[in-house]
Amino acid sequence: MKFIKFINEHKVIFVLIVIGIFVLPIIIVHILYKFTAPYTWLVAEWEAGDLLNYCGAMLGAAATIIAIILTITFTVENQKIERKLSIKPCLNTIYIPKFTRKDIVFKERQLIYIIYPIDKEGNIGSLHETPYLLKKEEDTNKEIVESSSFYKENYIIHYIISNIGAGNAINIKFTIDGKQIMQPFSLVANNSKEFIIIFKSELLDKLNKRSRLIYFNFEYEDVASIGKYEQHECIELYLEDDESLNTRQAANDILSMPKDL
């Protein structure tokens, strides 16, 4: 495949090489037979035609060998590509904003809760249990009273990662702004993993800005470890006029197609 790529990138050079291979032997033989040999033992016993026939036979044999090698290489590469496509994963993501705590309680689902940032250093925390700010009050067993201040300090999304590819995705490394969320995990084809992500206002306070892009990145492998892939997207977190948090996503910021690493 590298040879074919070279031909495509250097077509002029390749044409000159081919011309040289077929024309140079004729020129060389012609010149050699125009000189008078200084010694008798240098006098050719072959005719020019015999020598040209020999050169032609050798070129033909070389061309046949090269054609066989290219055919084998092309076949092997095609088989690798077909096999890779048959087991290649592909991730898809959607995020759903949550504006009431009632929408956030998923008792029958296994969720991972992500808080960003979780401390003053800007680290990300991942929890398997509902964090305290989303739990019900123990005393009255009622949900915490909704308040506008809560949504000025927190923005919550239901983030779903699905594998819509042909094969299983393994060793998925999920990062937000370059920070790894959790240990690598796997995702079987046609299955999903769900997260509740809580973005806190500190993300904007530290920058003293009204908006910022938050970068999501996924690196993973296929089940046969033939290839490694990367996909990414970004979501913009911003302040509304009433100072509440919100998100948006531009068309060119949606999740990219898998890229080979």
- What is the tens place of the pLDDT at every residue in 82-108? 666 678 899 999 999 887 656 665 555
Query: What's the half-sphere exposure (Cβ side, CA atoms, 13 Å) at 261?
Result: 12
Q: Write the pLDDT tens digit of every residue in 33-57.
A: 666 767 666 666 667 677 677 777 8
- Residues 39 and 42: their CA atoms lie apart, in Å, by 5
Which residues, at least 6 apart from 158, have a Cβ–Cβ distance to it below 8 Å? 95, 96, 97, 98, 103, 104, 194, 195, 196
Asked if residues 87 and 167 have their Cβ atoms less than 8 Å apart, the reply is yes
Confidence band (pLDDT; 50, 70, 90) for 147? low
With a CB cutoff of 8 Å and minimum separation 6, the contacts of 235 are: 95, 213, 214, 216, 247, 248, 249, 253
Q: Is the pLDDT of residue 69 over 50?
A: yes
**Which of residues 3 and 234 earns the better pLDDT score?**
234
CB 230, CB 91: distance < 8 Å: no
DSSP 3-state assignment of 140?
Answer: coil
- Per DSSP, the three-state class of 66 is helix
Per-residue pLDDT, 261: 82
